[in-house]
Amino acid sequence: MTKILLLNGPNLQLLGRREPEIYGRVTLDEIVAAVTKEAAVYGAEVEAFQSNWEGALVDRIGGAMTDGTDGIIINPAALTHASVAVRDALAAVHVPAVEVHLSHVDAREPFRQVRLTTPVCIGVIAGFGAYSYILALQALMDHLKMGKKQQRGNAARKGVKI
C-alpha cells in the first residue's frame, strides 16, 4: 500500500477560524478526512501530522526516509518563507514532495513569493482553497505511478522481467 505523509505547519490547526476570507472555512480535520478518503481511491493510506514547531516537522520529514513513506504532501505555512531546516530535510530524504497552499501565494504580499521549500518539491499546488490538497494528492499519486512505470520500463529495456 502506498504511504502518504500529510504535513501541516504553523497555525494550520486554526483553519476554519483563522482569516476565513483568505484561508476558507474548512478545518484541518476536514481536509485530512477528505485527503484520506481520496487516497483510499488510489489504494493509499495517509498519515497526517501538524506542528507549530519547526523541529517537530524536520524530525517527521527525516523519519520519512526510513518508515516506508512513498510521498509527502506538505503545507509548510509560514515556514515556506523562512525555514532552511524544513527545506534541507525535504531535500535530504529523497521522498517526492508536493507543496500545497490554500491561498494564491503569488498574488499576496511580496514576502510570500519567496519560498525556500519550493525548489526541493516536485511541484506546487496553490490557490484552490482546501481543494488544493486533493489536487496535490492527485498529482503526487500520478507522479508515483509514473515513476513505477518508468522503473519497469528501464528494467525491461535491460532485459529484466518485472
Which residue from 54, 72, 92 is spatially nearest to 7, judged by alpha carbons? 72
Instruction: Output the pTM of the full model.
Output: 0.87
Which residue from 34, 21, 1, 17 is spatially nearest to 100, judged by alpha carbons? 34
Residue 3 has pLDDT above 80, yes or no: yes
Selected catalytic residue, list 101, 104, 131, 133: 101
* pLDDT number for residue 22: 77
* pLDDT number for residue 158: 44
Rounded to whole angstroms, what are the CA distances from 35 to 31, 32, 51, 103?
6, 5, 18, 18
What ranges do the domains of the chain cover? 2-157
Selected catalytic residue, list 23, 81, 104, 131: 23
Is 133 catalytic? The answer is: no
Q: Which of the 8 DSSP states describes residue 70? A: -
One-letter amino acid for residue 108 of the chain: R
Is 23 catalytic? The answer is: yes
d(CA 82, CA 106): 16
Residue 155 has pLDDT above 60, yes or no: no
* pLDDT number for residue 108: 64
* pLDDT number for residue 153: 41
Q: How many CA atoms lie within 13 A of 95 on its CB side?
A: 25
112 pLDDT band, cuts 50/70/90, is low
- DSSP code per residue over 27-42: -HHHHHHHHHHHHHHT
Counting every residue, how long is the chain? 162
One-letter amino acid for residue 140 of the chain: L
Q: Give domain 2-157's CATH superfamily.
A: Dehydroquinase, class II (3.40.50.9100)
